[in-house]
Homo-oligomer: A and B are copies of this chain.
Amino acid sequence: MLLTRASEYALLSLDVIRKSDSPIGTEQLATELSIPKSFLAKILQSLAKQGILESRKGAHGGFILIKDTTDISVNDIIFAAEGKSPVVFDCTSYANTCPNGTIGTCSISPFLHNFQSKIDGFLNGLMLSDIL
C-alpha cells in the first residue's frame, strides 16, 4: 500500500481540527474518530513539527490549524504523517542488493521515475481544501 494508517488518521484529524477555533486535544480527537490515542499523539506531534498544526500544552491545550487549507498540500500532510513522501519503489533502500548494482539505471528505471513523478505531481498540486 502506498499510504499507511498514519496518513489516514492525519487527514481525518485535520478535517475535524480545521472546523474548530479553539484547540482540540488528542483525547477528544481519538474518541471522536475512534482511533488509538497513543498512535494519534505521535502523528499530531509530527504535523506540529512540520508547521501544519500548533500545539498548546496545559489545560485547554491541544492542536489548532495555523495555515489556510489552501496552503497545505496533501503531500505535505503525508510527508509529515509518515516521515517521508509516498514512494512507488525505493531502489535506494535496496542499494546493497540491487541486481548488478545498476541502481537507477536498470531497464525499469525510466518507468519507475515516470510513475513516481506522476504521483508527486498529483499530490503536490492537490491542496487540503480540494479534498475536504
- Chain A positions near chain B (C-beta within 8 angstroms): 1-3, 5, 7-8, 11-12, 15, 33-35, 74, 86-90, 94, 99-100, 106-108, 110-111, 115, 118-119, 122, 126, 131-132
Which of B5, B34, B88, B110 meets A131, CB within 8 Å?
B110
Contacts of A33 in B (CB 8 A): 99-100
Report the minimum CB–CB distance from A14 to chain B (whole Å): 9
Give every chain B residue within 8 A of A108 (Cβ-Cβ).
Answer: 8, 11-12, 15, 131-132
One complex includes copies of this chain to the number of 2
> A35 CA to B99 CA in the complex, in Å?
7
User: What chain B residues lie within 8 Å of A111 (beta carbons)?
Assistant: 11, 74, 126, 131
Given A2-B89, A3-B88, 10 additional A-B pairs, CB 8 A: A1-B2, A1-B88, A1-B89, A2-B86, A5-B94, A12-B99, A15-B107, A34-B99, A110-B131, A115-B122
- CA distance in complex: A35, B122 (Å): 33
- B residues in contact with A118, CB < 8 Å: 118, 122
